[in-house]
A and B are shown apart, each in its own frame.
Chain A
Amino acid sequence: MMITVRKLIKRFGLKTVLRGMDFSVEPGEFVALLGPNGAGKTTFLRILSSLSRPTIGLVKIAGYSLPNQAAAVRRRLGVVSHLPLLYGDLTAEENLRFYARMYAVAHAENRITDVLEMVGLSSRRRDLVRTFSRGMQQRLAIGRAVLHDPEVMLFDEPHTGLDQDACLMLDTVLREVAARGRTVVMTSHDLARVADLASRFDILSRGVITASVQRSQMDPNNLLAFYRQAIAEA
């Protein structure tokens, strides 16, 4: 397994957000994690990305456990959230150069050129990020996340705030990431969009996975009905 989670509980004070969650992902799988607001999707991704400590439970990524081997896990992770995690007063290539140094990427300049080309921002490489549209910032955020060629990609509602064209561009990049054999976990509210992207759909409700189905076992047009049923039964 690339990701293994067992009996995961996360509490914030008296509030329990994740209630003994079990979750596993095979290498190369693209899992869409769906659920209503407050289900614990973002909390779960923050635990997977080592930004938050589990209260109780086992979390392993690529064989390394969290939180004890967090640095080894972070080296293998790329994270994209609805915030770009980029500095507005630096140019696109300066942002990538900074993260290349943080991730100790060798031959960084060549890699930065490749990544900017991949996300379609080569012509804007010397422009300040604060002059970018939301869609361009999100594309650069994906470039930042894939810069060190991670094995596992975590996407937390990456389509939030993007217009239709930017969403389509993002989908293309997501498909490319998945086609390279990367393991992807993505949270989303947009069922129609993830129906075409993911290879597996997990429904998270009230802090536990209540249903899971492979795309090969279901007509993607029935995803909404499957989702509603899983939420209703939770």
Chain B
Amino acid sequence: MEPIPQVEERVRLTSSASGAGQFIRSLTAIIWKDMAAELRSRELLSAMLVFALLVILIFNFALELDAQARATVTAGVLWVTFAFAGTLGLNRSMAMEKDRGCLDGLLLAPVDRSAIYFGKAIGNLIFMLIVEAIVLPVYSVLYSVNLFEPGLLLVIFLGSIGYVAVGTLLSSMAVQTRTRDVLLPILLFPLVIPVLIAAVKGSTGFLQGADVVDIRPWINLLLVYDVIFIAVAFMVFDYIVEE
């Protein structure tokens, strides 16, 4: 049977209604929508920020570290902070889609569903990087540690990509359940262990001035993890969000 043509041509679609043009258009639309909604509500960023700052403050009082110990634990404290604050953000970001059935609205759009995944993932990455950009100077002041090392910032960037790549995929799965707040960390943390180990080792290496040759394997692990999980998410997102 031949497809039935459009009933009415009054509302036209743009010339790039399919293919790469539409992929980019829908991806940027999702990022814009997340940013605009967050600018109004400030729910997600404020929750992540308050949580992250509280964690580093608590560690500061609890550990009472000398200068040498600080360099050793800094990477661990930072990544614990980023991981927990990131989970809050991932949960909230997907809950926003679920609350008024908006996830269905996204899934009903005639776009490649991987554009939805990448739009949400890039939005989550931006929020995570904003929190990290605020937490790092505060940590620097509280712990008297210089964190503005290009190598360390690269590790934080790569680690955040891996964390968000897996987190966005799992949060879109967890959001379908009643126990989404509990389920996400249970699913996420075992899967991001390689990222967290590589990120902590890489960060510690840069903070302690280790040789780049010694740090490179950890950076390579982060790169490989990022590529693999972005590819996996690209392939399975469609099946995860469909009943």
Contact = CB atoms under 8 A, between A and B. Distances in A.
User: Do A and B actually bind?
Assistant: yes
A74 B36 contact: no
Interface in B222-242: 242
Interface string A73-91: 0111101010111111110
B179 interface: no
B97 to A, nearest CB: 9
B7 A27 contact: yes
A161 interface: no
A90 B37 contact: yes
A85 B41 contact: no
Contacts of A88: 99-100
In this complex, the member of A71, A98, A106 whose beta carbon has the largest number of chain B beta carbons within 10 angstroms is A98
Contacts of B105: 85-86, 99, 144
Given A89-B40, A104-B17, A51 B6 contact: no
Given A52-B242, A101-B25, A104-B17, A81 B104 contact: yes
Contacts of A104: 13-14, 16-18, 22, 25, 110
A81 B100 CA distance: 10
A81 B25 CA distance: 26
Interface in A2-58: 2, 27, 46, 49-53
Interface residues of A, number: 49
B33 interface: yes
B242 A51 contact: yes
A63 B3 CA distance: 4
Main secondary structure of the interface of A (DSSP, over half): loop
Contacts, number: 127
Interface residues of B, number: 43
B54 interface: no
Contacts of A53: 242-243
B108 to A, nearest CB: 5
Contacts of B242: 51-53, 67
In this complex, the member of B16, B100, B104 whose beta carbon has the largest number of chain A beta carbons within 10 angstroms is B100
Nearest to A180: B8
Contacts of B107: 50-51
Contacts of A147: 11
A103 B8 contact: no
A74 B12 CA distance: 15
B102 A62 contact: no
A46 B33 contact: no
B14 A105 contact: yes
Contact of A98 (B2, B29, B41): B29
Nearest to B6: A151
A111 interface: yes
A102 B115 CA distance: 10
B209 interface: no
